[in-house]
Amino acid sequence: MTRLRHFVQVSSAYANSFLYDGLVEEKIYYLSNPDDAGGELEEILRTGTTRHLQRFPWAYAYSKQLMERLMMARFPNLPILLLRPTSIGPAIA
């Protein structure tokens, strides 16, 4: 990966839908321990759910949030650009 200059990951603005104050900065928000994203994934694979799911309006939003934290934890030196659009849909012709 020494030649990789940029990595763009499309996430979702809903990844931070568990925040209640309305202000979302350009950073990764942690649900609990910053180093526990891998543990959360293991919990989901083992039990089919997670204790954090109730903080999100739907599982899709939680999965995007977990994906962001997993990427940052597993590839801390990778130049990652996270895009968080509010919605993606078809173009009108």
Query: For residue range 25-82, what is the model confidence (pLDDT) as tens digits?
Result: 889 888 888 788 999 999 999 999 999 999 999 999 999 999 999 999 988 888 899 9
Q: How far apart are CA 68 and CA 22, in angstroms?
A: 19
Give the predicted TM-score (pTM) of the model. Answer: 0.82
Three-class secondary structure of residue 8 per DSSP: strand
Domain boundaries, the chain: 7-20+35-81
Given a cut of 70, whether residue 1 has pLDDT beyond it is: no
Q: How far apart are CA 62 and CA 4, in angstroms?
A: 28
Query: For residue range 5-30, what is the model confidence (pLDDT) as tens digits?
Result: 889 999 988 899 998 887 888 898 88
